[in-house]
Structure 1
Amino acid sequence: MERRKFMKSAGLAGILAAGSAPALVQAQQQIRWRLASSFPKSLDTIYGAAEVFAKQVSDATGGKFVISVHAGGELVPAFGVVDAVQQGTIECAHTAPYYFFGKDETFAFDCAIPFGMSSRSLSAWMYQGNGMKLMRDFYSQYSIVNFPMGNTGAQMGGWYRKEIKSVADLNGLKMRIGGFGGRVLAKVGGVPQNIPGGEIYQSLERGTIDATEWVGPYDDLKLGFHKVAPFYYYPGWWEGGAQLSLYINDKQWNGLSPEYKAIVTSAASHAHVNMQAMYDARNPTALKQLIAEGAKLNRFPRDVMDAAFKASREVYAELNDKNANWKKIYGDYSKFLADQYQWAPIADGSYDQYMSAQRLG
């Protein structure tokens, strides 16, 4: 009687903290899921987020719920994960939702749109605003239940074979650029290319493309882009805070017990926070190394930023006219964004500006 009373009052979190998980999950079903990543194993940050998630789920269930993680191309192509989850070929996936803007531009809200939210703003919109509800409604069309699972923070503007001195230098530039940014780049004269992470270096080395963006210093150093395209620009205006997502087939999700659903939700949140922490911890050292190895760091000229911003507004206006899914979410997203940027420069923005001007270390 006392044990039943304890379990009822303590809840799942208390039982896990007390080390009683094995007793709790003893009666739970033994589950084996496969997770298809859109990323190569060499990227311990992005690919690693799925491994962190899977380990949390296994640890919290005493090994009763095991999720095997597979790199892009092992189970399904890197860009085939939406179809695979929707069809039930795999139980879940980890990906950058804006890869699938060709299916519907609305996917991009769950990742990044040009001149969109920062990582903190996006998390606020998803967890405390209407973001999660709106995206869940959208994903129901694809039999997907989504969870935020990682963020890169603001990304760099990419690697270029030649200097970008003005917006005119973008004319005819063939650039690997993920998701929505390519559509805006095209409006200012660029030629976007959608290439999986594992194939970028070879394309740049062979001259198939003139430039590429990926994430930031830590991943870029691993991928070696500076060896074939030395000009490194910032900021990545198309990815002010790129969010990764966990996709779960809705039938698989609905088949889980309440306890397992709580564990999956918690594990995804842990992986979400951990991924950006990894980037923030590793990027400073990696940037120093890139510069030491010859990378030429530059800020985008103002006319490039202004032209891209103007082009992004044109793209969004066009989508509001032709895509009902997009329009349903854009109004809420853009209002939340505007409110965030009335607040963000006051506290964190001004503090960061002051601290960056000091002699630290």
Structure 2
Amino acid sequence: MDRRSFIKKAGLVGAAGTAATLATPALSQNLKEMVIVSTWPRDFPGLGLPAQRLAARITELTDGRITTKYFAAGERVGAFDSFDEVASGNAQGYMAAEYYWKGKHAGFSPFTAIPFGLTYTEMDAWIKYGGGQELWDELSAEFGLKAFAAGNTGVQMGGWFNKEINSAEDLKGLKMRIPGQGGDVMAKLGASPVSLPGGQIYENLTSGAIDATEWVGPYNDYFMKFYEAAKYYYFPGMHEPGAQLALGMNKAWWDGLDKVDQAIIQAVANEENARTMAETNANNGEYLSKLINENGVQLREFNDDVYASFGEAAQEVFEEARDHSPLAAKILDAHAAARMELGSWMAKSDVSYSIKRNNVLGIE
């Protein structure tokens, strides 16, 4: 190679190297950090693990453009401080149940669950195709947030009690961990509802500070070891028929993402929404058997009179929440309309089929 050719080729390489050097800062400017705070403990079966899975999935599918840093409850802020941490911009996202924020606005509860509300299938339909997401966006925007459905645990159990519940009278004076509007229903019936993060329930139940608690269902509850303090396990829960979990994000941060990364985060939330429900359903039967056969848990069904009392109290709670504000009324009215329409269809499809199939096959 002569000197002139060498210089020419070296110049091209140098130019390419310079271009690469100049491109690197531009590339690094597109990298974002996403701090996610959670309302659940680390490695918590059923809730904490899916939240951690979602955080890791965002980094994976964005090829590292968004690097997530996940903090379980208490690692960065307290469980119930997650809302303010994200709304303020100190963190970019939270994993939570929206009814934890009902003290901020009564309209948040329907986006987790309200007593006698929507099942998972109905909730999914309402959020995605019935105008639910748009109402959620309207509410969240008032607090500088943007949220997506990101997990569901289905119809919950009625809870753990240290005595049998044969009438509404048996609820009077009972100290029960039950958040959201479910707690308001219990208060109407004379119980004393207590709101505690998941990591504090066991110690309060075993110490006698509370007499009863609801959590989720057999899969989640098994690892909480509630059976060591309360042997009566009631079903079905009226308070959370389709407990929706949420990925909430700081809206200014969300708005600053490009369309591709927004689409990826939404897809990850949709994926985890279905995955958590499937995981819960796949495990509940097995762990219910363990609770009964290995730990002496006594399974009980709420009788019709108790459930009727729940229903009357729930209607009062619904009307009170509706009176909070025009937006709360708008959300709750839409939720009730969806419940009527979707419930009518489900009665003729999934519910009807399940009852008839189980009767024919002797499934209990």
Match of 1:17 in 2: none
Larger Rg: 2
Q: Which amino acid aligns with 1:49?
A: P
Please tell me whether residue 342 in structure 1 is matched to residue 339 in structure 2: no
Match of 2:211 in 1: 210
Matches within 5 A, 1:241-260: 241-260=242-261
Please tell me whether residue 72 in structure 1 is matched to residue 73 in structure 2: yes
- Contact kept, 8 Å, 2:162 with 2:230, in 1: the verdict is yes
Q: Which amino acid aligns with 2:343?
A: Y
Q: Which amino acid aligns with 2:53?
A: V
Please tell me whether residue 195 in structure 1 is matched to residue 201 in structure 2: no
Matched residue SS, 2:348: helix
Match of 1:104 in 2: 105
TM-score, structure 2 as length reference = 0.89
Where has structure 1 moved over 4 Å in runs of 4 or more? Answer: 25-28
Matched residue SS, 2:142: helix
Match of 2:325 in 1: 323
- Contact kept, 8 Å, 1:119 with 1:154, in 2: the verdict is yes
Matches within 5 A, 1:227-242: 227-242=228-243
Return the alpha-carbon distance in structure 2 between the equivalents of residues 28 and 110 of structure 1.
35
Please tell me whether residue 175 in structure 1 is matched to residue 191 in structure 2: no
Return the alpha-carbon distance in structure 2 between the equivalents of residues 286 and 318 of structure 1.
37
Matched residue SS, 2:216: coil
Q: Which amino acid aligns with 2:78?
A: P
Match of 2:8 in 1: none
Please tell me whether residue 296 in structure 1 is matched to residue 287 in structure 2: no
Moved more, 101-110 or 90-99: 101-110
Return the alpha-carbon distance in structure 1 between the equivalents of residues 218 and 324 of structure 2.
37
Q: Which amino acid aligns with 2:224?
A: L
Q: Which amino acid aligns with 2:313?
A: A
Q: Which amino acid aligns with 2:327?
A: N
| Deviations 1:266-314, CA, capped at 9 Å, x for gaps | 1111111111111011111000000011000010121111011111111
- Contact kept, 8 Å, 1:174 with 1:192, in 2: the verdict is yes
Kindly state the Cα deviation for residue 104 of structure 1 after the two structures are TM-superposed.
1.5
Match of 1:124 in 2: 125
Return the alpha-carbon distance in structure 1 between the equivalents of residues 352 and 278 of structure 2.
22
| Deviations 1:33-77, CA, capped at 9 Å, x for gaps | 110010012423211222222222222222222112111111111
Return the alpha-carbon distance in structure 2 between the equivalents of residues 322 and 221 of structure 1.
37
What is the Cα-based RMSD across aligned positions, in Å? Answer: 1.5
| Identical positions, percent | 36
- Contact kept, 8 Å, 2:153 with 2:244, in 1: the verdict is yes
| Deviations 1:87-111, CA, capped at 9 Å, x for gaps | 1111110101101111211110110
Match of 1:10 in 2: none
Q: Which amino acid aligns with 2:110?
A: F
Match of 1:282 in 2: 283
Structure 1: tracts of 5 or more residues without a match: 1-24
- Contact kept, 8 Å, 2:106 with 2:324, in 1: the verdict is no
Matched residue SS, 1:180: helix
Return the alpha-carbon distance in structure 2 between the equivalents of residues 141 and 117 of structure 1.
24
